[in-house]
Amino acid sequence: MRRIVFVIFEGFQPLDLVGPHEVFQHAHLLTGGYACQVVASAAGAVRSCSALPVHAGHGLGDLDPGGIDTLVVAGGTGVDEACRDPALVGWIGAAGAGARRVTSVCSGVFLLAAAGLVDGRRVTTHWAREGQLTREHPELTVDCDPIFIRDGRVWTSAGVTAGMDLALALVEDDHGRHIAHAVAQELVLFLRRPGSQSQFSVPLWSAQPATDPIRAVVAAIQADPGARHTIADLAAEAGLSPRHLQRRFTAELDVPPAAYVERARIEAARRALAEGDEPVDALARRCGFGTAETLRRAFHRLVGVSPSDYRDRFRSMKEHA
């Protein structure tokens, strides 16, 4: 049986623990393959960042750091203080050194880094922590676009719900896609997202427009991403000159109009790929890419997988439904 140990601390994010824990527990019901344990500096109630107390069954002194299959370190607003706890960091270092897999959810990667477990690795975390992680740990290659990254035995994920995607990927690594999909079905997760999928869907990566002309442009793009959205067309929508629109749009949304349009079209293509069997060339034309090859290049650059691979994830999910 694989021993999965979750590390929490004062101010941890409860979903970083509960989401992956539920994935492994449901997988255990199907396979009998996991034993989950929760450890903190001391056994007992641990206050999360949302003030929800969670019981840690073990303290550092009573849980052997040896014999761990997978170490999962949660993140949360308390992670910076936790990194200054030498006993906790030392225990994580000892546990991670002997574990088959070392993983983190969200800002839990800061604890892995403090423990010296990810030196020279490519890692991810919540996008809001990217700058801090890069500054504090220049020895890491930080990439905050994917929802999770595997680099050898080290797996790191983006924030909160991405921890469930990470856990499902770990279950698939252990027991195959069928079991991972069965767990996803049971937890009513629509898709086990590939790790290379971007953290940044349009509503998340984009700032919100501050003025009515730019709101009108954004609304027009979102209403029909596949329409002709040249800078002249968008400027007419806003009642501005093309140069003025370019400057205002970029200032308010931190991205040029053309890049925003491309992201919106990618989102439309992702939905279409997940929901139906429309041929990729027809889908590409409808979503504004013109050709399947243009869609493929943009999709691979922004999502990290090809359109066909993305669709296959959903098709495989449906076949096991």
Residue 99 lies in a domain: yes
Q: Residues 221, 307: one domain?
A: yes
- Positive/negative CA dihedral, 70, 71, 73, 74: positive
Residue 194 lies in a domain: no
- Which of 182-191, 211-220, 311-320 ranks highest by mean pLDDT? 211-220
**Which CATH number goes with the domain that contains 312?**
1.10.10.60
Of the chain, the percentage scoring pLDDT greater than 70 comes to 92
301: left (phi over 0), alpha (psi -120 to 50) or beta: alpha
Domain boundary pick from 152, 186, 220? 186
Counting the structural domains of the chain, the total is 2
Q: What are phi and psi of 115, to 5 degrees?
A: -85, 0
Give the pLDDT score at 203. Answer: 47
Give the pLDDT score at 313. Answer: 66
Q: Residues 244, 155: one domain?
A: no
Read off the pTM. Answer: 0.67
Residue 191 lies in a domain: no
Give the pLDDT score at 196. Answer: 47
**Which CATH number goes with the domain that contains 53?**
3.40.50.880
- Which of 90-104, 154-168, 297-311 ranks highest by mean pLDDT? 90-104
Q: Residues 176, 210: one domain?
A: no
Average the pLDDT over 188-214 and give the result.
63
pLDDT classification of 135: cutoffs 50, 70, 90:
very high
Q: Residues 143, 261: one domain?
A: no
Q: Residues 235, 151: one domain?
A: no
Domain boundary pick from 154, 186, 218? 186
Of the chain, the percentage scoring pLDDT greater than 90 comes to 71
Residue 21 lies in a domain: yes
Residue reference for tokens 């243009």? 294
Give the pLDDT score at 315. Answer: 59
Angle at CA 155, nearest 5°, toward 310 and 72? Answer: 120
User: Higher-confidence residue: 46 or 180?
Assistant: 46
- At 84 the three-state DSSP class reads coil
- Positive/negative CA dihedral, 41, 157, 208, 132: positive
Give the pLDDT score at 317. Answer: 45
Least confident interval from 29-38, 79-88, 215-224, 310-319: 310-319
Across the strands, what pairs with 141?
Answer: 122
Residue 140 lies in a domain: yes
Give the pLDDT score at 205. Answer: 53
Beta-sheet strands, E only, within 79-223: 101-105, 122-123, 141-142, 148-151, 154-157
Give the pLDDT score at 193. Answer: 55
pLDDT classification of 207: cutoffs 50, 70, 90:
low
Task: Show the domain range for 153.
Answer: 2-186
Q: Residues 60, 168: one domain?
A: yes
Q: Does residue 296 have a pLDDT over 50?
A: yes
Q: Does residue 231 have a pLDDT over 60?
A: yes
Least confident interval from 17-21, 83-87, 225-229, 269-273: 269-273
Give the pLDDT score at 185. Answer: 82
User: Higher-confidence residue: 12 or 319?
Assistant: 12
Domain boundary pick from 186, 217, 234? 186
Q: Residues 179, 208: one domain?
A: no
